[in-house]
Each structure stands twice: as C-alpha cells, then as structure tokens.
Structure 1
Amino acid sequence: MQNNWIKEAIIYEIYPRVFSEEGNFQGIINRLQDIKDLGVNTLWLMPIHKIGMKKRKGTLGSPYAVYDHFSIHPDLGDENDFKKLVDETHKKDLRLIIDWVAVYTAWDHNWIGQHPDWYRKNEAGEIVSPNSDWSDVAHLNYASCELQDEMIKTMSRWIEKFDIDGLRCDTAGNIYGFKPIVFWERAIKRLRTIKPEILLLAEWEDPQFHTNAFDLTYSWALYHTLRKIKTNEKNLRDLTSLESVKIPWTEKNYQINTTIRGAGFIQELLDAQKKEFPGGALRMRFIENHDELRAQELFGKDASRAYATVIFTLDGVPLIYNGQEIGETVRPSHFEPFKINWEADPRDVLRTGDRKGGLRDFYKKLIRIRKENPVLYLGDIKKIPTDCDENVYAFEKEYRNQLAAVVINFSPSFQMLNLKFPRDGIWKDLLNDETIIKSPPVNRFNRAGNQLQLAPYASHIFLYSPDERQK
C-alpha cells in the first residue's frame, strides 16, 4: 500500500545526539525551520530509546542496542519533549518517522530475563548475537508467537501515543525463526488500522517486501553501482561487468555482463530491477547514510554533485543524511561522542550556505527542481544514447505534459558528445540556468550541431517547451 504523499517524500535522516550541540529533541526543534528551508519534507530519527549497558561498545554505545522498546533515552528528553518535537514538526507540514529495531535487543533488555525463549540460542542453549561483529546485541527468535504479538504491540504504541508518521525497520529481513515477510505483513496490517497513511521503510532490498507490506525498500544495488563507477572513473571503458555488486545480508549478486560499459550500467540495473520488482515499487535512493562513508569523502567535492543529481532525478524517494548538505566528511561513530560542525566559519552554515562552496545551495536547488517538476519522480525513464555512454548517463522522462532530459558526466575529464534530444524545441537547463534551443534552423548547443561539451562531473536537468517561432 502506498499513500500519495510518500511518492513526493524527500527524507532527511537525523542522528539525534550528533545533530546539534544540545544533542536532544530541543536541538532538533531549534533547527526545524532550517531543515524545512532545505526543502525536505520527512524526518527520520535514528533510534531514540535507552541504550543497553551490558556488552556495550564504546563510550556511549550504539543506539541500535535497545534497552527498552517503550523507553526514550534521557539524554534526548522525555515523552513530553518527544511529543513536542512531533507536534512542532507537524506544524511545519513536515512528517516524522522513527527507527525501529525489531531483530535484536541489548543484552540487558528486560525480555532476556523474563522471556529467554524469545531469543536465538546456540547448541549449548546460550543466547547469541546475529553475528560476531554485532556482539553488543542479542538476536531475537520469532518462532515465539508471544514475541511477535509483543513487538507489534510496542510498535503500535508509538503510533497511537505520539502520532508519528511511520517507521524505518532496521535490517528487516534478518528476522530469525519465522519468515520475515509473513511477520511484517501481519504487523503492518495492524499498524495501518491505527494510521492508514504511515510510511513503512524496510532496510532491505527484496521485491516481496513490497507486496502487502512496505512502501519503501533500500536501493543498495544502485548505490554500489555508483560506487563502482566512481572507483573506475578514470577508465570507465574498462568497467564491463557488475558481477561484484552484491546486496547486503543476502545471496543476491547482480551479474550484468553485456557490451555495456561504465555509466551505462545504471540503466541496465534500473531495467533489470523494474522487471524484478512489482509495478510502482518505490526505492529509497541515497549516496550516503549512517552506515556508509560520507558522500563528500567517497565521491569527492565536485563529483558528489553529479551522483546526487542521479538520486534526485530518478523515481523513488531520495535521502539526505544530516551533514551531507554541507559536505561533512566525517561519518559519526555509532559508539562514541561526535557533533556535526555546523558553525565551521563565522556564518551560520545551515542557514546561509556552507564551507564547501555552496553545496547546501546546490541541494536546495536540486530539491526545488524535483518538487516543481513531477516528471522527475513520476515519469517513465528512457535511455538517451550518446557516443560517450561509458562516461555519460543521459536519459529522458515523460509524464503527462512534461518532458525532461538529464545528462550527467561521471568522468573527471571534459566530454564532447553527440546527443540527440527527444524533440526539437527549447530545452531549459534548470540546474545551471541556461537555455538550449534545439530546433532547426537554430542550433545553439554550446557548439554547432548536436555536440554538447560537458565539464568534468557536470550535471544538467533540461525541461522541454515547444519553440513557438516554428509555428
């Protein structure tokens, strides 16, 4: 089930304890207007519960090591403070979802003592972690119907009591002892009886999760494809296979071996997943989140704009992780103290710009273009062939009376390419505030004819209108 607002969602992920100097709900409230001014419309809070002490990692522990699913971490505030945050968010016409950890708990969660049968155990009868790396959490066992009922009860309580707008379900496919999708279908059916318009986001990439369950799933395959393109950017002609693009925690491994090279794999992947996923399935598009390297560090200052343009011009729902919009290069630890440095220079960088050369202004513009032009997230996509497909990704999108063309150079070098626009007429470059007339007998195409010169990592979003002079 999908609600119309979800198709228009742009998610902003917040790590509450690092987002502000206060490190609490009030610190988020103080910056709600700044977040709204960026253009996003949906806030996702990483876990806000108390964190377990037993087997804790680091100084503060991971927010995903939940001590009590009914609790709020006292450093963030209390129930009244959280309700105030939800209310203030709604007053600004924003929505708010919270992270939900249903697969494991902290080792001192009260369920371990009261219901040890709710946990996965080894042959010796000892409760175990999901894997050796996640040693600070204990793996739940959903073979217990009582556990299933209790988990649904706790999820329901947050929607009923605080009127939140949805849940992001952590490692949703890692449920042990019971078929994950069967549990989630049951849980989500119950949650929608409380608030039908909620958003359910699965940290998982599986077509079946869209059937009678989640609105959104992670678009990991696209993210790892983009990473692979960046890694090979100096010689994309030699990138001839996506065989190493794997989906986390699964056996899924995309193997696309064709005559396609380099950036051409983006369209190949999108086409493959369109056949694989149900019609209308929405994917969360991202170039960073709390589990991945910062986009500025991974892709670089200039290239990150090109990769951001991809996720904001495709269908699905784009994500911005707090600090991404100012080019933060340090990924906050799950276990240690950290604060995003919004005040790196005398200006208020969240309000007036950023220390990385106007990156926040770029994101504001990119978001505005997306919101003003539904063709970008609702239109059908069609590849535009060029003679530089290994370095350049060009595509058109059409929806109702709108026609758009997007051209992105993933190369660190200038590219001179032959490219045929879908129609003759006037094409306005919304991202760069330029106009190209492609209508005989006039050709102002940077150079005569159909050749377009692209600067390194250049991004262009063209919107079509007929050339009235030809009528």
Structure 2
Amino acid sequence: MKYLSRFLLLYTFLLFVSCNQDDESPNGNETEPVGVTEPEGYQQYGVPFNDIPANEDIVMYEVNLRAFSNGGDLQGVINKLDHIESLGVNVIWLMPIYPQGQLRSVGSPYSVRDYKAVSTEYGDLEDLRRLTTLAHQREIAVILDWVANHTSWDNEWIRNNSDWYTKDANGIIIHPAGTNWQDVADLNYENEDMRDAMIDAMKYWIYEANIDGFRCDYADGVPADFWSQAWQEVRSIPNRDLILFAEGDRSDHFDAGFDLSFGWDFYSGLKNVYSGQPASNLIQVATIEYTSVPTGKEVVRFTTNHDESAWDATTVSIFGGIDGALSAQAVTVFMGGVPLIYGSQEVGQLSTVPFFSNSSIDWNQNPTMLESYKKMMTFYSNSPTARKGTNTVYNDIDVIMFKKSLNGDEVILIANTRNSSRTITIPAALDNTTWTDIMTNTSITFNGQLVLRPFEFYILD
C-alpha cells in the first residue's frame, strides 16, 4: 500500500503539472486536452471560447476566401486578422470551406462534397484550428457557413444513402424544388438517419476545430423542427455558447433557436431611400422589421454581402460613390441591429466580387475610406449607447437624424441621403447643444440650422 500511495501521489503531481501548462503554443496552436474524447467520438481541440459576445453586441465580418487574399485560403485570413480586429469586429463568418462538388459543378462553394473536411483549395484542418485559436486570442469568434438544404451530386451520401435525398415520382433524386440550382441535390428531411448525420457533422467542427457557431445558408429550405432538434443538441455540448444565424425570413427561425436573421427589408428600404424615397420610410421599415423579433434576438443589417456584391453591385455603385457608401453604412450601423461588414466594402470595391471563382481584393484602394470605417466601427464597438441606446427620431424627407440614449449618455447620427446639399432645421431639444464629431474629432454646436454637403454624415458624441 505504501508503494501504491507513492505512485498515486506522483501521478497526481504529474497530472497537476500537465494541466497547468499553457494551453497555447508560441505559434498560436491550441493543445488538445489529453484523453478527452467526447461522447460523439470526437476529440475536443483547444479550449472552448468563453467570450462569445451577446447578440446585441455582435459586429460581424464576412470573409469570401476566394477574394480575400491572393492565395484564396485560410492563411490569407490569418494574415489579415489585425485588419479585421481594427474594425471592431468580434465575429468572423467564413464562407464555405468544404470540398466543392465536381459533378455538374458551376463553381459554387455552396455545393458541398464532404461536410467533414477542409478543401485543399483553402488549406487543411490545422489551418482552420490556427485561425480559430488566433481569432480567439483577439476576442473574436469564428462561425462557419453551413449548407443544410442540399449537397453536391458527388457527395458520398448519394452513393451510400440515396434515401437521404428527395426523389421524384420515378425515384430520381432532384435538385431543390422551385430553384434553378442544377449543381446540387435536395436533401430529404423525412429521413431520420440523414438528420442525425447532419447534426453529427456540425458537432465535428465544434469539437475538432473549436468553431463558435454557424451561419445557415438557405435556412428557409429546411424544416423548422430540424433546426429545433439540431440547436437543442449542439447547445447541449458542455461549456459552449454558440452563435446561430439564419439566412432566411421565415417567421419560425427564432422560435427554432436561431439568434440572428438577415434584415432584407432594411436593405431594400435603404436602397430605396438613397434612390430618392423619403428618408422617413427607412425609419418605418426598421421599426416594423423588429416587431416580430423576440427579446434577446437580433436582425443582421448590411449595405452588402457576398450575394449582393457578386450578383447586384457593390456599395460604391449602389449608393452613389464612396461618400454615399459611407453615409449608408453609418445609417445601417447606428440605427440598430447587428452590423455586418463584407470583406471588400471597407476599401470601396467598385467592381463586383465573385465567389464562384477567385478574384483578389486590392486592399490598397481608397485608404481614406478604410480609415473612416475604422473610426466609425471602433466608436460603435466601444460605445454601449451606440449599440444599445433607444432611438429618438427626427423626421426629414431627405436626411436621417436620430438620437440614441442609454443611461444618460447620448449619441446622434445625422446623414444626408442625397447626392446634393441639404439644409435641416435643428430640433428645439437639440438646439444650442455642443457635440464632438467622432469622424473628425472636432466640436460642433447646433445653432438653428445645419447645412449638409452631398451624402455628408455626422456621428456625434
């Protein structure tokens, strides 16, 4: 017994030393806890990120890997983490990283051939692990784009489990009904085995790459009861706080467990106002959009994203130039909701940005615009009033003006939505008050009226 006691004492000491070593190596790689195999059979990589921002505090940044760097890979994102951090970002959304289908392919990364692999086009699992580790060190979460509605035609699921797919009357697997997406095969959510495999694949990335949630592509195409099942299971993973973001406008997404949904109505309203509709229309749209959003959930608002910048036009084209794009961004960020930046818009990308093919962003274009983004987003991310304040709106046909108030602190946003000068009358409650313009760090005192240059905006503290 004496020798056994000594052995147990030595074992306890070595275990204590091992557990108290640094979790991270000098090159940013997290160590895998020795012997920790989860019930699903996956090995927990690193330490779960415990600083996930509250929904109302999220500042999201979308990365199109094929455009983000010359290499079009995960290393390109790692190389620009300082840039992303400088914009006040606390959540990175990576567009699909999985191997792309080759059969009937049109080049879309949303045609997934393997749900449990990193495409060699982008790197490997170790690259993704290094990215999540280094992002977490900067207090930034990482979420993956998840494609649950369909797979590529050469996904192994088709070869091994054809009943996991929707079939026509002749027993032939079909592409998603009501779409022209001929490059993908529609999944059958009446099949329980397929549902279990889908949830298992989500868990794989949470365990093996330490990711922090999912942006779910075409969430409207997947039954709400599946989302409820999936989110109940993934949220049961110990020591995890996940971000779940639906691409869709179905009313049941929040009830199913999603935290965030896209603000399509706001985006349409923003474009309409900058095209000449009364500025007050956007206030109405923004208010209505939140009427069905439960407390604690949020709408993601944007001036562009990968779809808009690829198939429509970039912000510089849509909003009448760099000044218009900045004005629209200021309105979008400060009016309410979760602001989204699509990598490229902060440098005033003029040409469309494809994601079915590679096309590198010129990060040196429009450095003055980038500095404006940094000032705007840094203030927003550091100001509870800017993020969570209650809006007091001052209506005008051409100018958007509102005051945000929280615990006695106030922030004002004024933005000319027209490509011509406008003069507004200062509301009596604000007249003869002095503020600091955070974009120029200069003082401004209201005195009766304010003349705004084309697309001029103020963020006042």
Normalising by the smaller structure, the TM-score range is 0.7 to 0.9
**Alignment partners' CA distance in 1, 2:192 and 2:175:** 20
**Alignment partners' CA distance in 1, 2:79 and 2:163:** 44
Aligned to 2:389: 379
Alpha-carbon deviation of 1:301? 1.7
Aligned to 2:194: 147
Aligned to 1:436: 444
**Alignment partners' CA distance in 1, 2:169 and 2:243:** 39
Matched, 1:310 2:331: yes
Aligned to 2:418: 411
CA contact (8 A) 1:282 1:315 kept: no
CA contact (8 A) 2:224 2:256 kept: no
Residue range with higher mean Cα deviation, 143-152 or 200-209: 200-209
TM-score normalised according to structure 1 size? 0.82
- Counting only pairs closer than 5 Å after superposition, residues 208-227 of structure 1 correspond to structure 2 as 208-211=252-255, 213-227=257-271
SS at 1:105 equivalent: strand
SS at 1:167 equivalent: strand
Alpha-carbon deviation of 1:82? 1.6
Letter in 2 for 1:455: R
**Alignment partners' CA distance in 1, 2:248 and 2:113:** 24
CA contact (8 A) 1:290 1:331 kept: no
- CA, structure 1 residues 382+207, in 2 after alignment: closer, same or farther (shift >3 Å)? farther
Alpha-carbon deviation of 1:357? 5.6
SS at 1:74 equivalent: coil
Matched, 1:392 2:379: no
1:351-406 CA distance string (max 9 Å, x none): xxxx3261100100010110222111111122113xxx221111121111211221
- Counting only pairs closer than 5 Å after superposition, residues 451-470 of structure 1 correspond to structure 2 as 451-463=449-461
**Alignment partners' CA distance in 2, 1:332 and 1:416:** 36
CA RMSD of aligned residues (A): 1.9
CA contact (8 A) 1:192 1:198 kept: yes
Alpha-carbon deviation of 1:22? 1.8
Aligned to 1:290: 306
Q: 1:269 aligns with which of 285, 297, 305?
A: 285
Alpha-carbon deviation of 1:288? 0.6
- CA, structure 1 residues 3+134, in 2 after alignment: closer, same or farther (shift >3 Å)? same
Aligned to 1:23: 72
Aligned to 1:124: 170
**Alignment partners' CA distance in 1, 2:392 and 2:165:** 48
- CA, structure 1 residues 273+360, in 2 after alignment: closer, same or farther (shift >3 Å)? same
Alpha-carbon deviation of 1:7? 2.2
CA contact (8 A) 1:404 1:461 kept: yes
CA contact (8 A) 2:290 2:299 kept: no
Identity of counterpart residues, as a percentage? 32
Letter in 2 for 1:369: F
**Alignment partners' CA distance in 1, 2:91 and 2:264:** 20
Letter in 2 for 1:18: A
1:66-114 CA distance string (max 9 Å, x none): 0010111012112122211211221222211110100110011111122
Q: 1:136 aligns with which of 183, 189, 194?
A: 183
- Counting only pairs closer than 5 Å after superposition, residues 66-465 of structure 1 correspond to structure 2 as 66-130=112-176, 131-175=178-222, 180-194=223-237, 195-211=239-255, 213-231=257-275, 233=276, 236=277, 262-292=278-308, 293-299=313-319, 300-342=321-363, 349=364, 355-356=365-366, 358-385=368-395, 389-420=396-427, 422-423=429-430, 425-437=433-445, 445=446, 449-463=447-461
Aligned to 1:47: 96
Alpha-carbon deviation of 1:212? 5.0
**Alignment partners' CA distance in 1, 2:145 and 2:53:** 22
CA contact (8 A) 1:206 1:217 kept: no
CA contact (8 A) 2:72 2:358 kept: no
**Alignment partners' CA distance in 1, 2:291 and 2:130:** 44
**Alignment partners' CA distance in 1, 2:429 and 2:245:** 35
CA contact (8 A) 2:52 2:141 kept: no
Gaps of 5+ in 1: 237-261, 343-348, 350-354, 438-444, 464-471
